């Protein structure tokens, strides 16, 4: 049916509008489909979503009605503010350039401003790519871009369906996984961060998922002296990123 420009993102409503956006290679950030939607256009859409491996969520019609008062035909989507890349494409290119990749893997960072601040620090520290999951991560919207000071328009962001497979791919490619967790025994400045490395940071709520943590070759922590036992994830990420930069500047 059509589209609306929102304060922080482009909304698409109507099955045909979403189909055309996907066919024109628009990045779909979020997609909501009415539960039990069944018609010829809906079947075409579902086939396209499967073919392109685009995540979506079934929701009741009441939710769609709250999102827009327009004739949504059971489908409402949002176009991403940025173009995502795939780490399988980015990493070989970095090696071909003779770089020692510095990557940042974010496990379920959901706060938009935290995510934006992290990407700002990442760009300043020379991070080559930020890797996020396709589900359970902060939306890359205008707030995130503003908080990143525009860094999200310059640093590659890889949105991946399976972080476990990504971590395996990185290890197989010669990239060390270093996880930042308060459960570690070693301090971050004792870690070797000058070679090809991926820094793994966990969610604000419960840190790094166990299945990802066990894939890390090394676990590090930031020393604490005060009564509060943890830092904001964007602050913690900045501390470790600039230690990596310090070490790399000494090579």
Q: What is the pTM of this model?
A: 0.80
Q: Where are the beta strands (DSSP E) in 26-133?
A: 28-34, 57-59, 75-79, 102-106, 129-133
Q: Are residues 65 and 133 in the same domain?
A: no
Q: Are residues 49 and 151 in the same domain?
A: no
Do the beta carbons of residue 196 and residue 219 sit within 8 Å?
no
Residue 1: what pLDDT? 55
Number of domains in the chain: 2
Looking at residue 128, what DSSP letter applies?
S
Across the chain, which distance is largest between two alpha carbons, in Å?
62
Q: What is the DSSP string of 39-60?
A: SHHHHHHHHHHHHHT---EEE-
Q: Are residues 75 and 94 in the same domain?
A: no
Residue 49: what pLDDT? 93
Domain encompassing residue 117: 87-249
Q: In what order do the strands lie in the sheet with 176-180?
A: 157-160, 129-133, 102-106, 197-201, 176-180, 218-221, 186-187
Residue closest to 128 by CA, chosen among 164, 91, 159: 91
Residue 134: what pLDDT? 86
Q: Are residues 182 and 125 in the same domain?
A: yes
Domain boundary among 79, 107, 137: 79
Do the beta carbons of residue 64 and residue 30 sit within 8 Å?
no
Strands 10-13 and 2-5: antiparallel
The H-or-E segment that residue 200 falls in is strand 197-201
Residue 7: what pLDDT? 40
Residue closest to 170 by CA, chosen among 128, 232, 126: 128
CATH number at residue 35: 3.30.1330.30
CATH number at residue 147: 3.40.1280.10
Residue 141: what pLDDT? 78
Q: Are residues 145 and 228 in the same domain?
A: yes
Q: Where are the beta strands (DSSP E) in the chain?
A: 2-5, 10-13, 28-34, 57-59, 75-79, 102-106, 129-133, 157-160, 176-180, 186-187, 197-201, 218-221
Q: In what order do the strands lie in the sheet with 57-59?
A: 2-5, 10-13, 75-79, 28-34, 57-59
Burial (CB < 10 A; 0-12, 13-18, 19+), residue 142, is middle
| Sequential pLDDT tens for the chain (251 residues) | 565 554 445 788 999 999 988 888 788 888 999 999 989 999 999 999 999 888 899 999 999 999 988 889 999 998 877 888 999 999 999 999 999 999 999 999 999 999 999 999 999 999 999 999 988 888 887 788 889 998 998 999 999 989 999 999 999 999 999 999 988 999 999 999 999 999 999 988 888 999 999 999 999 999 998 888 788 999 999 999 999 999 999 97
CA distance 131 to 190: 24
């Amino acid at each position: 049916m059509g589209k609306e420009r929102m304060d922080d993102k482009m909304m698409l409503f109507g099955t045909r509008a979403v189909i055309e956006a996907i066919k024109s290679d628009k990045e779909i950030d979020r997609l909501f489909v009415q539960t039990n939607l069944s018609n010829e256009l809906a079947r075409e859409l579902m086939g396209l979503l499967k073919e392109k491996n685009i995540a979506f969520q079934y929701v009741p019609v009441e939710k769609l009605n709250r999102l827009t008062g327009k004739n949504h035909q059971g489908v409402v989507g949002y176009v991403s503010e940025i173009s995502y890349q795939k780490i399988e494409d980015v990493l070989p290119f970095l090696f071909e350039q003779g770089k020692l990749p510095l990557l940042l893997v974010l496990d379920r960072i959901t706060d938009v401003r935290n995510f934006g601040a992290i990407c700002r620090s990442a760009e300043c520290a020379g991070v080559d790519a930020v890797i996020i999951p396709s589900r359970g991560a902060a939306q890359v919207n205008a707030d995130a871009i503003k908080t990143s000071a525009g860094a999200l328009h310059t640093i590659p962001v890889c949105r991946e369906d399976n972080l476990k497979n990504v971590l395996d791919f990185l290890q197989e490619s010669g990239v060390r996984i270093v996880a930042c967790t308060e459960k570690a025994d070693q301090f971050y400045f004792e870690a070797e961060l000058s070679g090809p490395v991926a820094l793994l940071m966990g969610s604000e709520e419960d840190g790094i998922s166990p299945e990802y943590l066990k894939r890390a070759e090394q676990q590090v922590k930031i020393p604490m002296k005060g009564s509060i036992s943890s830092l904001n994830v964007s602050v913690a990420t900045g501390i470790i990123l600039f230690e990596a930069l310090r070490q790399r500047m000494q090579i």
